[in-house]
Amino acid sequence: MASIDDFDRIEMHVGTVIDARPLAEARKPSLALWIDFGASLGVKRSAAQITVHYRPDLLIGRQVVAVTNFPPRRIAGFESEVLTLGVADDDGAVVLLRPDFQVPNGGRIF
C-alpha cells in the first residue's frame, strides 16, 4: 500500500500544450509535446503514445496533466522531461487526463 506521503512526493501539474509533432524515430507511434506549465515550471517536453485518439494540430491549446518530478528519459532521441498522464480505453489506446474547466498552468494536482 502507498501512503499519503508517497502520493505527496509525486508532483503532478496542469499545463497547456503549445506544440505537438509526430515523433518519427519512435518504435511505437508517438507524439512529441511541448507543454507550458506556467512561470514556476516553464515549458517541458513529453513523448506520448497518444496517436490513436489525437492529432498534433488538435492538441494545441489543450490542457493536460503530467508528472513533473520524474527524471528525464530519452525516447527515440527526444528528451521527455515529464510524464503526460492518461488512461487506456477498451482497446488499450491512451485517453489523456485533463481538467473539466480551464485552470492556471502549473496548478498542482492534489
pLDDT (tens digit, 9 = 90+) per residue, 89-107? 999 999 999 999 999 999 9
87 pLDDT band (50/70/90 cuts)?
Answer: very high
Residue 62 lies inside a defined structural domain of this protein: yes
In this structure, what CATH number is given to the domain that contains residue 90?
A: 2.40.50.140
Residue 104 lies inside a defined structural domain of this protein: no
Nearest to 45 by CA among 11, 83, 77, 98: 83
The per-residue pLDDT of the chain, averaged, comes to: 97
pLDDT (tens digit, 9 = 90+) per residue, 38-51? 999 999 999 999 99
| Integer Cα distance of 19 and 35 in angstroms | 7
Whether 51 and 36 have beta carbons less than 8 Å apart is answered as: no
pLDDT (tens digit, 9 = 90+) per residue, 1-10? 999 999 999 9
| Integer Cα distance of 110 and 41 in angstroms | 17
Residue 107 lies inside a defined structural domain of this protein: no
In terms of residue numbers, what domain contains 60?
4-96
Instruction: Determine the pLDDT at residue 13.
Output: 98
Residue 108 lies inside a defined structural domain of this protein: no
Total-model pTM: 0.95
Total structural domains within the chain: 1
* 20 Cα distance to chain centroid: 11
